[in-house]
Structure 1
Amino acid sequence: MGPIGLYAAVVLIWGSTWIAIKYQLSVTPELAVAYRFVLAALLLMAFCAIRKLPMRCSRRDHGFMALMGLCLFSLNYVFLYIAEAELTSGLIAVVFSAVVIMNMVNGFIFFKRRPEMRTVIGAVIGLGGICVIFAPDLAQFDLAAGGSFALVLSLLASYIASLGNMVSARNQARGIPVMQANAYGMMYGSVFLVVYILATGQPIVFDSSPSFLIALVYLAVFGSILGFGFYLTLLGRIGADRAAYSSVMFPVVALAISTFAEGFVWHANIILGVGLTLVGNVVILTRRRKAAKTQDMQVSGNDRAMDLPMAPAKAMLGARPCNGDAS
């Protein structure tokens, strides 16, 4: 699967998880996220064992995979789930889409990579489209009504997720396949959540309703295992700044699903906003032929932190063992 296929898969999968998350809120946010990633980690570890994928990594690499788990599979989701109790999903979508800008900034800080001007322009257009789509939510937002804390949590969750993107880029540069890194990351993220839940004395409850169970399996298999597998592979192929633009496209898919599932009505601002996000999508995902050819020649010679020459299948299924001493 090429970059366009990976990008489309990520957008479609994660755009559909918004409605599934609604059926998880019958338990606390911490428990909902813990159930999701415990199940995903168990399934992913079992898959790696059945496929006999190399799982030995150095202590240092385990530390970075634990950090990735904390950032991508733990804290960011808990903060978003908590914020969703105070903010509309539209406003959260606007806030989280800022991860595009955060990835550009963090990419420069950690990897000294300057974003291409077309990526910046496309991101600005796309973010403008998201703001147009959710203009009513932005207009109704009131800091005095208790939404300020939730807004801070949403921004913090977005930045933590961006840091997780940077850690994943580092892990791929080290030669750690996406599948194994995600398996360990989800395991560590689940451990962090379980320890926190036990330490705070939260009651352990489980919703056995069919809607909760179906949503749980969907979020674990599609939203977590496949979604993150595709996204982090894409990140290694085209860079964190361009891959993060998929977060701008999630709400568009969510709105399309809501149209059929919930009778959502499209108004003029939504049509205009979707049009802008699609324009930004085209700007970001297309490159000048000369630049693309030059980059491909450079990448074929050596691995780089943000542009790894991995075939998606190899990156996800673990064609290479972890680097370093397995201590």
Structure 2
Amino acid sequence: MSNSFLYVVTVLIWGSTWIAINYQLGDVAPEVSIFYRFALSAVIMFAFCYLKKMPLRFAPKLHFQLFAFGLALFGCNYYLLYNAQGYINSALTCIAFSLIMFANIINAKWWFKTHISSQVYYGGALGLIGIITLFWPQINTVELSQTTLTGLAFCIAGVLFASTGNMLSMKNQKMNMPVLPATAWGMLYGSIFMFVMALISGKEFNFAYTVEYISSLLYLSLFGSVIAFGCYLTLLDRIGAHKASYSTIMFPAVAVIISTFVEGFIWDGYTVIGLLLMLLGNLVVLSKTKAKKQIQTETIVTQSIVTQTPAVTTAQKA
């Protein structure tokens, strides 16, 4: 699959999961719902890998890394962000979580010595300003109280765990661990963590036998976890965490469009300006730099000379 396809699928699915998450809230505790989600996702992922004859056995020492990967990305990350919702509104949570792009930039440079071009910083800044503009009517009245600071602290901690999980996924792939089998183990370990946290918190392991709850659980498990994470974690290795994580900034754009049709959301000037800034930032981050284009052109010309094939024909085929 092309990088563009993986990116679009990730944005569309994760941008639409908000409505499914809304159907999960109610009679069942969030920690328990997250446990159900990733336990089911792990079963689906293991079954798929088994049918495709993908390697599922890893050396015992690698399971320590897989455990850390699952704990960070599928356990602590979700636990902290769901807890943040009890202190601040979803708009502020969304803005805080969008900082994962900058956390990934720092971690990518620290973990893998990744070179980050200036356009990534500019695009990320545009995207962040776009999200703040989009949600300005919901956040301009928020007071910087102890409750707000607590919620933001939960968010920042969740972002740091998520970014660490991103780095561990990239490390898994650099150690030749296939994405899907490694993710299956990560989801299993993440679901075990959520199970333990639900027990410690004294949550009841009940279940809502309604069409809304069951259908949203299936959607979040299959599409929101198995497919979306499969696409996103593949992108991490292909285009880098700093670029792949811009997809998190695009989620609100998809959510707003869906809300327009599902909930009758009314657009205003903040909506238009915010979305335009987010789209512009997306173009800036993912566009190829002039230097990279020049290198690719020179490579094509060199290859055409070596193979005695006209450069124009080679470029057209490429």
TM-score, normalised on structure 2?
Answer: 0.89
| 1:116-155 equivalence runs, <5 A | 116-144=117-145, 146-155=147-156
| 2:13 corresponding residue in structure 1 | 13
Q: Distance in 1 between matches of 2:293 and 2:167?
A: 23
Q: Unpaired runs of 5+ in structure 1? A: 299-327
Paired residue type of 1:29: P
Contact 1:104–1:114 at 8 Å: present in 2 too? no
Q: Unpaired runs of 5+ in structure 2? A: 300-318
Paired residue type of 1:273: G
**Superposition RMSD on alpha carbons, in Å?**
1.8
Q: Which stretch has the larger CA shift, 179-188 or 54-63?
A: 54-63
| 2:176 corresponding residue in structure 1 | 175
Contact 2:79–2:194 at 8 Å: present in 1 too? no
| 1:33-52 equivalence runs, <5 A | 33-52=34-53
Contact 1:15–1:251 at 8 Å: present in 2 too? yes
Instruction: Quickly say closer, same or farther: Cα 1:295–1:234, change in 2 above 3 A.
Output: farther
SS at match of 1:23: helix
Contact 2:108–2:242 at 8 Å: present in 1 too? yes
1:216 aligns with 2:214: no
- Listed one character per residue, the Cα deviations across residues 46-75 of structure 1 (whole Å, up to 9, x for unaligned) are 112222211121223211111111111111
Query: Larger C-alpha radius of gyration, 1 or 2?
Result: 2
Instruction: Quickly say closer, same or farther: Cα 1:293–1:55, change in 2 above 3 A.
Output: farther
Cα deviation, residue 86, structure 1:
2.8
Paired residue type of 1:147: T
Contact 1:24–1:215 at 8 Å: present in 2 too? yes
| 1:286 corresponding residue in structure 2 | 287
Contact 1:15–1:250 at 8 Å: present in 2 too? yes
| 1:161 corresponding residue in structure 2 | 162
Contact 2:23–2:212 at 8 Å: present in 1 too? yes
Cα deviation, residue 296, structure 1:
12
| 1:244-323 equivalence runs, <5 A | 244-288=245-289, 290-291=291-292, 294=295
- Listed one character per residue, the Cα deviations across residues 278-313 of structure 1 (whole Å, up to 9, x for unaligned) are 111111111125415758999xxxxxxxxxxxxxxx
Paired residue type of 2:246: Y
Q: How many residues align?
A: 298
Q: Distance in 2 between matches of 1:207 and 1:104?
A: 40
SS at match of 2:20: helix
Contact 2:15–2:255 at 8 Å: present in 1 too? yes
Instruction: Quickly say closer, same or farther: Cα 1:2–1:28, change in 2 above 3 A.
Output: same
What fraction of aligned residue pairs are identical, expressed as a percent? Answer: 41
Q: Distance in 2 between matches of 1:200 and 1:277?
A: 38
Instruction: Quickly say closer, same or farther: Cα 1:112–1:297, change in 2 above 3 A.
Output: farther
Q: Distance in 1 between matches of 2:86 and 2:297?
A: 45
Q: Distance in 1 between matches of 2:87 and 2:8?
A: 31
Q: Distance in 1 between matches of 2:208 and 2:264?
A: 27
| 1:175-214 equivalence runs, <5 A | 175-214=176-215
